[in-house]
Copies of this chain bind each other. A is one copy, B any other.
């Protein structure tokens, strides 16, 4: 059954959507803040404007990350791996022989979230997974477009493999970090590397073409991700095909060795379609993949302030423990 050409769009009238009573008071408070003003992306060729925008956005995120920074004592080091800066974050209560590593890829639309944001994101991940984290401070536009970021993630993974069994390693990330974590797995596989034990993809930006339905249906409903990331994706791609599987891993061949994967999103998330499509694609490829969707949650949920965030943290912990479980 071929659909007719020029399929008619669905007209949805203007609406007033109340703050739901179906979530925690903390989540309600986040939803009541209304849409975040993310401003406009700069013109593609205005590198200085991009640098200024990125710094302003990172500063804003940094103050939020500092406010929720984990009190978990950990040893943090900054190391250089083949020219890539990596923060290693090791919780102090780990036994000396604990060799588990979570390779953590930060988010930020593939242009933001580096440096201190990356380090603090990694610290949060270490608290969440209870293991050593390698947080990759990968290179980004405007100075370093694709494939710099992916090269750096692959270099970090390759370095880890030098003294870790692959099943001691789990990779993951949120949003753009989910893009790079998935792309890293595809490239490692294509380069003949052994694959990690598992992957954690939280609201992953796995389709830079933004073809998913919730890019439309949840636009204006997601109060955190309030605009398309297309300008950032184009700056990242720098002329490469956005649908290339290394840029949009949703379109990759997931049938050959992709590891068990946990995916998470929220019903208001602009990237809900990305998440459920990746879940379906993995399941079709025969990959064990678990989906969690938080009620009324916007992109990346409730800033870590709500019990719902903690509930997802516990799912992630249970998942990684199960996949690291055979290593004890």
Contact = CB atoms under 8 A, between A and B. Distances in A.
How many copies of the shown chain assemble into the complex?
A: 2
Interface in A28-82: 28-29, 31-32, 34-35
Nearest to A11: B16
Contacts of A96: none
A290 interface: yes
Given A291-B292, A315-B283, A219 B2 contact: no
A214 B267 contact: yes
B17 A35 contact: no
A290 B262 CA distance: 12
A311 interface: yes
Interface residues of A, number: 60
A261 interface: no
Interface string A182-225: 00000000000000000000000000000111101111110100
A277 B1 CA distance: 35
30 contacts: A1-B25, A3-B26, A4-B32, A7-B31, A9-B16, A9-B17, A10-B17, A10-B221, A10-B223, A11-B16, A12-B17, A12-B220, A15-B216, A17-B216, A20-B213, A213-B267, A213-B268, A214-B267, A267-B273, A279-B292, A280-B292, A280-B295, A280-B311, A283-B292, A283-B315, A284-B311, A290-B290, A290-B291, A291-B292, A293-B293
Interface of A: 1-4, 7-23, 25-26, 28-29, 31-32, 34-35, 211-214, 216-221, 223, 267-268, 272-273, 276-277, 279-280, 283-284, 290-296, 305, 311, 315
